[in-house]
Structure 1
Amino acid sequence: MSDEAAAPLSGGALTRSRILDAAAALMTNVGLAHTTTKQIAKEAGCSEAALYKHFRSKEEIFVRVLHERVPQFSEALAELPERAGDDRGPAGHLREVALAALRFYRRSFPIAASLFASPELLATHRRKLDELGGVGPQNAAQHLAAYLAAEQELGRVAATADPYAAANLLIGACFHRAFLDLFFGGEMPAGAVRPASEEEFAAETVRALLGGVGV
């Protein structure tokens, strides 16, 4: 790691980082709808005016929290189609995708849940995503389907498989598992989720998927 990369944040960069940390904590604990820029500024140890020097709105802060304070998912998938045909193979890449999806949904659910309680807030969020160039939840399935289609062209995924259906199956399984993890929290009933560990979940889910679309 370079000295520049290792250097601690200072000045405006430090303030911005503290704002995002504070926003992530508040949005997780009290929900997006009940989090205000005044609360975020207070938690970050800065003025609300300082907050608005870095972000134009609460919605922009929310989007940046998802991009910078939540384990990344769709961005990593954007490069996946270029890796079709490499030695890692579909099984290795899909396990990686499953783990990334599970961790992303588990972290982002508590932050984003309140979006769906407010049609106005949800509409504002969609507009913000459009302003950022079409970023959105649909990207993950699109990127994953493109990767599977590329592997299909190479003969490593069955010619009869539907790449979009396969992508939706994998992402849907991860979404559901993350929901169960959060729903039960530390009181998970015995046998409620199988396999129990996330690594085994990723491996077995991919094994089942490739049993249907593999060559």
Structure 2
Amino acid sequence: MGTRERIVDAAEQVIREFGIVGATTKRIAAAAGCSEALLYKHFPGKESLLLAVLLERLPALGPALTRLRLAAGTGDVADHLTAFTLAALEFYTRAAGIAAGVLADPSLTERFRTMLARSGSGPHLPILALADVIAGEQDRDRIDRKIDAGAAASMLMGACFHRANLSYYVDPADDDATWAAAIVRTLLRR
């Protein structure tokens, strides 16, 4: 394992143990067994390291979106969307700790926002990609054309985000798979 990977692994571990505020570069470097200077050689700042943890260590939405795109026009669209919904829920559940820490610090939020804009990334992109998948399935007459694809994608992703956040405070009444299937059935109801 290379130095960069060790740093990202250490950052994830330190964030889970101490939260964003406690995840100082000094603490992360110590956990990675390197100096802060070496950490900064691989990452220009804490924000880019947080982004690396989000993109590289958490269950990614990219592969789930790829599977959804590859399945377009085949099989049961509800099953495919349910699998994606579960992947999105897992992502949001695991990312909540990092997101909460970023949002709790206005200056960190602004720096993170600037970094996302410069890198052309952000939380809106999976919603746009999902909307494209839904629109494609509408073109194949597999999803009702009257549904607004963008609104449907926003509602599905918003529901995942909401359930992930609720799970930190209360135990859901139903299991995730049952919930995901119900969300998709509601979305696809004609």
TM-score, normalising length: structure 2 = 0.91
In structure 2, what is the equivalent of residue 179 of structure 1?
A: 165
Q: Which residue number corresponds to residue 144 of structure 1?
A: 130
Matches within 5 A, 1:82-101: 83-86=71-74, 88-101=75-88
Match of 2:35 among 33, 44, 47: 47
Q: Which has the larger radius of gyration?
A: 1
Q: Which amino acid aligns with 1:64?
A: A
| Unpaired stretches in structure 2, ≥5 consecutive residues | none
Count of matched residue pairs:
190
Q: Shift of the alpha carbon at 1:182?
A: 1.6
Structure 1 consecutive aligned stretches of length 4 or more whose deviation exceeds 4 Å? none
Aligned to 2:173: 194
- The structure 1 residue matched to 2:8, chosen from 20, 30, 51, is 20
Out of 133, 144, 151, the position equivalent to 1:165 is: 151
The CA distance in 2 between the partners of 1:205 and 1:46, in whole Å, is 46
Letter paired with 2:51:
V
Q: For residue 178 of structure 2, what is the amino acid of its counterpart?
A: E
What is the letter of the counterpart of residue 155 of structure 1?
D
Partners of 1:136 and 1:84 lie apart in 2 by 24
The aligned runs of 1:27-42 (5 Å cut-off) are 27-42=15-30
- Does the aligned pair in 1 maintain the 2:68–2:81 contact within 8 Å? no
Using the TM superposition, give the Cα deviation of residue 178 of structure 1 relative to its aligned residue in structure 2, in angstroms: 0.8
RMSD: 1.8
Cα displacement (A) at 1:92: 1.9
Cα distance in structure 2, aligned partners of 1:136 and 1:75: 16
Structure 2 match to 1:124 = 111
Q: Percent identity, aligned pairs only?
A: 43
8 Å contact 1:194–1:201 — kept in the other structure? no
> How far, CA to CA, are the matches of 2:129 and 2:67 in structure 1?
8
Tell me, in whole angstroms, the C-alpha distance in 1 between the residues paired with 2:64 and 2:110: 26
Any conservation in 2 of the 1:31–1:113 contact (CA below 8 Å)? no
* Amino acid in structure 1 at the alignment position of 2:19: G
After TM superposition, give the deviation of residue 31 of structure 1 in Å: 2.4
Q: Kindly state the Cα deviation for residue 34 of structure 1 after the two structures are TM-superposed.
A: 3.2
SS across alignment from 1:158: coil
CA displacement, residues 86-128 of structure 1 (integer Å, 9 cap, x when unaligned)? 2x33212211111111100110001121211222111111111
Superposition TM-score, scaled by structure 1 size: 0.81
Give the counterpart of 1:59 among 37, 47, 64: 47
For 1:42, the aligned partner's letter is A
Cα deviation digits, residues 125-180 of structure 1 (max 9, x gap): 11111222x11000111111111101111111112111111112211111111112
Kindly provide the CA deviation profile for residues 5-24 of structure 1, in whole angstroms up to 9, marking residues without a partner as x. Answer: xxxx3xxx1x2222111111
